[in-house]
Chain A
């Protein structure tokens, strides 16, 4: 079973509008971390935002916010006031504790976001 599920292969949004990218996760751990990364067409992965499983407030970083619903095991990324430069692939990832003290991230398949002028 997939640990991270991103159900939207592609999304389109008008410039200056908000968009939500979905992410659900599967874990039996109580302690875990959730991350979102952006991958422009050039290929590099850029860290956007982090949410800890014990954080009571939703994380925010500038125009990015994470809508964390723990009971539903969802961690959706909200981008407000979309810009043309937001066009990219977006990946959701999770880190759990593993045997031996490792915290290997698991990635979803990604969502392609296209921002229209």
Chain B
């Protein structure tokens, strides 16, 4: 039972570089989410998707893009990395009404 799988676990980027954080789930969940968590803080929603082909902005979408071409995958793209994007990124998925979301292990990203 893989659940939600995120890759990579760690990454260091230089300012201006681009990267894609991968997220896949094998629970056939319609809902998928990307959150960021700064040290000692709560989770801020970046983007979410209620199904394949549908994505919506969360609280902090600037500097990020997503796509949802399949039910399983929900990659997060950083086009021009900035130090303010240094954070831990969590992907999550859930079924309808979303009270029990399953989170991945997180990606720790540092932009220098």
A and B are interacting partners:
no
User: Using a CB–CB distance below 8 Å, which chain B residues touch chain A?
Assistant: none
